[in-house]
Amino acid sequence: MRKLLLLTLLCGVFFFLGNGIVGLTNPDEVFYVGTAKEMAQHNTWVIPYLFGQPQFEKPILTYWLLRIGLLIFGDSNFGSRFFPALFAMCGVWATYWIALSGFGNRRKAFLSAIILMSSFLYVGIARTVFTDMIFSVFIALALASFFWAYQRPRWKSVGLILFYLMSALAVLTKGPLGCVIPFLVVLLFLFLRKELRFLVSIPSLVGLILFLFVSLPWYCFMVQKYGQSFIQEFYINDHLRRIVEAEHHGSDKWFFYPGTMLFGLFPWTIFLGGALVSYFRRFFKKESTVVVQLFLLIWVAVVFCVFQAAHSKLVSYILPVFPALALITGDYVDDRIRRRGNKIAPLFLATVIMLVALPLTMLFGMLFLPAFLPPANLTSLILTVYTALIIGMIILVRRRKLLWTLYLLGLQAVFVLGLIFFSYPYYADHVMSKNAVDYLKTNYQVQGRVLSTKIMMRGVRYYGGWDMAFWNISKGQFFSPHPVPDLNSDAKALAFLRSQPVTYGIIGKKNWIELERISNANGIKAELLKIIGDQYVVRVRTGS
């Protein structure tokens, strides 16, 4: 209980502390929270709304949680991020639970939980309003419940029912993958163990019925109410199309997810590499493995293969694999420390060398991107503290205090969080639209539709509440269509500008050049009112 209490307090630092400082960012956080707010405005808990119209990009559960967070904490950044942070903490507990059940070792369980808690990608998504943290934790809880049932026969009924319930909630969070991933992991595990009959039981039947009862009603309602519109957008566009077509072409590379897994677990990257090599070598050489090690390998393989097969790839998609990676790494590192061999020390030294990349990155930023960092004196102080941290780790490694070195390594995420908070005033206007919207609201009487672009439009809508028009001359099309005028040609843009006497906009530099070109060619007056970060606040007058 003391270890769980300590993990909970640390989660408060890693996931909750400072969540109200950074505003909601473009384009995704404002999308999810904006949907929850518009659902409240339309007085519905069933139909997601955005831009005043139903939207079908994601299932309903995340929006329910966001609405509850806003009801408890008010319209605040902290309230919006409360449930992603809470679920991140539950993921840490689940990791501890699986490790304790599978390895039977409290130190190994604690170390695995620390590794997950302090990995950079996990911390980042825990503090961001996405569906991915909630989804990945339901997957982890489903698999933890199954493994608990498998390891503890007298708890089989409870464990199996929880497995199906958590899978159903994952389906309500992100769609069919919520059952595809946990079902594939369990079936493949039982197949390799030659124990598929484990699922042939009354509790499994009860769990399956519960799964259908929880997961299907919302989907049935949406199909009945919206028919082909919902099917086309949710199932075909947002699921099947993502398999065959990349939303972000730059990430559609074979090495994207292997790199994300390795560097997303930073600062544990070196240890993860050693752990995976050790695990796979043991598996393919058919050396003896404990049951949990086989289960974790299957978990990693299924999640990786499912997402690797799709052309649409995002860093956050692969998050469901991270509890398994943390468990594999924690198992490997703890074993090496217990053996007190010489193989683990080089990994520590390689990790310390890798950590030097962070201060080098800050130095690069001071020289070439000073606008995004705190003043030089504060940045220098941060670099000094970080250097002292690295020196402390080197001393601990030389003195063979490896376990304490690991705990000190986990503080890297806290250091980076502090840097993000200190730097916030200097990069805020590059990641959110609040100040640009506030400037327009304070100084001008905005009427009619407001122009904006793909990256900024959701944020302008969220902070301003205005009706929007999508400036799309540069063909920055949304993957899912938005119910706003799509100005994707000079003719459409000109017709829109002439449809209202004054048009305000918050756009990018390239879009301003396009707007200026169209205005000058057609006798329309376009004014640049203010540049805020990389956002151009503009006004166009047609005089008609």
Task: For residue range 306-333, list pLDDT tens digits in order.
Answer: 999 999 999 999 999 999 999 999 999 9
Residues in contact with 367: Cβ distance below 8 Å, sequence separation at least 6, in sequence order: none
Residues in contact with 198: Cβ distance below 8 Å, sequence separation at least 6, in sequence order: 150, 190
Q: How confident is the model at residue 539 (pLDDT cuts 50, 70, 90)?
A: very high
Which residue, of 316, 339, 362, is where some domain finishes? 339
Cα–Cα nearest to 13, from 408, 411, 420, 425: 411
For 286, the 3-state DSSP assignment is coil
Candidate from 78-82, 119-123, 424-428 with smallest mean pLDDT: 424-428
Q: Clarify whether residues 422 and 456 are in a common domain.
A: no
Q: Clarify whether residues 287 and 197 are in a common domain.
A: yes
Q: Clarify whether residues 163 and 118 are in a common domain.
A: yes
* Length of the chain (residues): 544
Identify the residue whose tokens are 């080089």. 346
d(CA 507, CA 492): 17
Instruction: Quote the pLDDT of residue 128.
Output: 95
Instruction: Quote the pLDDT of residue 373.
Output: 62
Q: How confident is the model at residue 346 (pLDDT cuts 50, 70, 90)?
A: confident
Q: How confident is the model at residue 231 (pLDDT cuts 50, 70, 90)?
A: very high
The pairing of beta strand 468-471 with beta strand 53-54 = unpaired
d(CA 406, CA 114): 9
Q: Clarify whether residues 269 and 156 are in a common domain.
A: yes
d(CA 91, CA 139): 9
Q: Clarify whether residues 209 and 326 are in a common domain.
A: yes
d(CA 450, CA 446): 8
Candidate from 360-364, 381-385, 398-402 with smallest mean pLDDT: 360-364
Higher pLDDT, 358 or 408: 408
In a domain, 39, yes or no: no
For residue 167, the enclosing domain spans: 2-13+91-339
Number of domains in the chain: 3
In a domain, 218, yes or no: yes
Tell me 231's DSSP state. Answer: I
Residue 460 · residue 438 · CB < 8 Å: no
**Average pLDDT in the 19-43 region?**
95
Burial (Cβ within 10 Å: 0-12, 13-18, ≥19) of residue 27:
middle
In a domain, 528, yes or no: yes
In a domain, 61, yes or no: no
Distances (CA, A) of 47 to 54, 506, 544: 6, 29, 39
Q: Clarify whether residues 487 and 419 are in a common domain.
A: no
Q: Can you give the C-alpha Rg of the chain in angstroms?
A: 25
Q: Clarify whether residues 490 and 515 are in a common domain.
A: yes
Which residue, of 318, 339, 360, is where some domain finishes? 339
What is the SS3 string spanning 343-374? CHHHHHHHHHHHHCHHHHHHHHHHHHCHHHCC
Instruction: Quote the pLDDT of residue 110.
Output: 95
Q: Clarify whether residues 319 and 355 are in a common domain.
A: no
Share of the chain above pLDDT 70, in %: 94
Instruction: Quote the pLDDT of residue 142.
Output: 97
Q: Clarify whether residues 268 and 233 are in a common domain.
A: yes
In a domain, 18, yes or no: no
Which residue, of 339, 360, 376, is where some domain finishes? 339
Task: For residue range 32-84, list pLDDT tens digits in order.
Answer: 999 999 999 999 999 999 999 999 999 999 999 999 999 999 999 999 999 99
Residue 535: in which H helix or E strand, if any?
strand 535-541
Asked if the model's pLDDT at residue 370 lies above 80, the reply is no
Task: For residue range 470-499, list pLDDT tens digits in order.
Answer: 999 987 778 888 899 999 999 999 999 999
Q: Clarify whether residues 240 and 270 are in a common domain.
A: yes
In a domain, 75, yes or no: no
In a domain, 277, yes or no: yes
* pTM of the shown model: 0.93
In a domain, 209, yes or no: yes
d(CA 300, CA 488): 42
Candidate from 191-205, 219-233, 242-256, 377-391 with smallest mean pLDDT: 377-391
**Average pLDDT in the 178-197 region?**
96
Residue 496: in which H helix or E strand, if any?
helix 490-497
Q: Clarify whether residues 312 and 227 are in a common domain.
A: yes
Q: Clarify whether residues 408 and 460 are in a common domain.
A: no
